[in-house]
Amino acid sequence: MAIVRSYTDSFQIIDRTQEVVNIPNTIGIINQLGIFSPVQGITTNTVSFEDIAYNTAVMTDQPRGQRGQYTKDATRKLRSYPVPHFPLDDSIKPEDIQGKSAYGTNDQAETQAGVTARKLEAIRRSGAGLLEISRAKLLEDGSVYAPNGTVSVNFYSDFGVTRKEIDFVFGTSTTDIIGKTEEGIAYLTDNAFAGGLGATDHIALCHPTFFANLIKHPKVQTAYTYFQSAVNPLRERLNSGLPMNTRQFIYGGIRYIEYRVLKPDGTPYVPAGEARLIPQGMTDVFETFAAPANKMGIVNTMGQEMYVFEYTDPKGNGIEIEAESNIINVCKKPQLIIRLYSST
């Protein structure tokens, strides 16, 4: 039995029975929904693609023997964006191991392998959180996540488009909520161009206030009550893969999902009382790219989502751990992110 001092009596020996493990909640709803394509590696620190607009003019009839109309070539523009760099450092020192018991045990000594495993798990969770919040930032306001300002990109500005907004007017009991949802779906369909053929669903990520106002609106209450019934197979299917406490609701062809992810300062990524309506399942619209690590021997190789390096101090003073992620989320059609809100 390990000797552990009692907080009530410094001379009393007690038996530690269990550990208390507090793990930060990393919500990965966006990552799980498949809105973004899987992370793609690139060999440079800049992601570039051509924005091509094809001519869709329809042929017209002409008298026989007369020359036909001329086709117009597609217009194109090269768009390039620098990839933000996210480093994360840690270390293992002798004092992290010496005289310490292994987590959750009374009589087993801490080991270097045990400490390393915990450090790597913390790095893994940090990387998963980065992927989620950086994607949430893009959906919030159309910009690249770089909180310290090393990269400044807004896709609405770069593409020269104005964000579509739809006022649900929840404060009025007679508001046609179905009409609002149809307006959103129609706009996504009309502005998706050829890519719209790949959409499999329409999702609204909702601030809890927006979700609450939606389900209690007189035009919606009856439908939501049925949707929440225990025998509803649709509800059971939708909950698969998402946190158990995630509320969601399909109405008018839109899947409304309550989204609670917070920024580091504690404010929500989906602003209070708002939602973001987006298409799901479209290819080549929402994409994530990973650049190579900032290390010799890795430059110009295909980037990975996360890198971790360990360096042993030659004098035996410890182990340095360096991790980094170099990712950027891109929206090639920012007009497909719609702001939903309520003015009353």
Kindly tell me if the per-residue pLDDT of 205 is higher than 80.
yes
Q: Is residue 181 part of a domain?
A: yes
- Predicted local distance difference test score (pLDDT) of residue 18: 41
| 227, pLDDT greater than 70 | no
Please give the DSSP secondary-structure letter assigned to residue 83. Answer: P
| Most confident among 26-30, 207-211, 238-242 (mean pLDDT) | 207-211
Please state the domain count of the chain: 1
Confidence band for 196, pLDDT divided at 50, 70 and 90: very low
Domain assignment present for residue 319? The answer is yes
pLDDT digits (tens, 9 = 90+) for 124-136: 889 999 999 999 9
Positive or negative CA dihedral for 99, 103, 105, 108? negative
d(CA 90, CA 92): 7
Section 203-218 average pLDDT: 95
**Amino acid present at 39:** V
Q: What is the pTM of this model?
A: 0.83
Can you say whether the dihedral through the CA atoms of 290, 82, 321, 89 is positive or negative? negative
Length of the chain: 344
Considering the chain, what is the average pLDDT of its residues? 84
Asked if 43 and 292 touch (Cβ cutoff 8 Å), the reply is: yes
What is the mean pLDDT of the segment spanning 187-212?
A: 82
CATH number, position 304: 3.90.1690
- Give the pLDDT mean for 244-262: 87
Does residue 256 lie within any of the structural domains? yes
Of 122, 101, 117, 24, nearest in space to 323 by CA: 122
Which range has the worst mean pLDDT, 96-105, 155-164, 264-273?
96-105
- How buried is residue 24: exposed, middle or buried, by Cβ count under 10 Å (0-12/13-18/19+)? exposed
pLDDT category of residue 229 using cuts at 50, 70 and 90: low
Residue 26 binned pLDDT confidence (cut-offs 50, 70, 90): low
How much is the pLDDT for 99? 81
- Note whether residue 224 is domain-resident: yes
Decide: 328 and 81 in contact? Cβ < 8 Å.
Answer: yes
- β-bridge mates for residue 204, sequence order: 256, 277
pLDDT band of 150, cuts 50, 70, 90:
very high
CB of 66 closer than 8 Å to CB of 310: no
Task: Identify the pLDDT of residue 6.
Answer: 37
The number of beta carbons lying within 10 Å of the beta carbon of residue 336 is 23
pLDDT in tens, 292-317: 999 998 999 999 999 999 999 898 89
* Domain membership flag for residue 271: yes
Rounded-to-integer distance, Cα 151 and Cα 286, Å: 19
Q: Do the domain assignments include residue 62?
A: no
Q: Which domain holds residue 147?
A: 29-50+78-344
Nearest partner of 99 among 88, 89, 111, judged by Cα? 111
Considering 27-41, 103-117, 268-282, the range whose residues carry the highest mean pLDDT is 268-282
DSSP 305: S
Quote the pLDDT of residue 198. 59
pLDDT tier for residue 232 given thresholds of 50, 70 and 90: low
What's the mean pLDDT in 33-61? 86
Q: What is the pLDDT of residue 340?
A: 98
Quick one: pLDDT at residue 296? 92
Give CA separation, 1 vs 11, 105, 109, 262, in Å: 16, 9, 12, 42
302: phi then psi, degrees, rounded to nearest 5? -70, 125
* 195 has pLDDT over 50: no
Percent of the chain at pLDDT exceeding 70: 84
Q: pLDDT (tens digit, 9 = 90+) per residue, 50-109?
A: 887 777 777 888 888 888 777 777 778 899 999 999 999 999 999 998 888 887 777 788
Domain contains 24 = no
Structural domain includes residue 10 = no
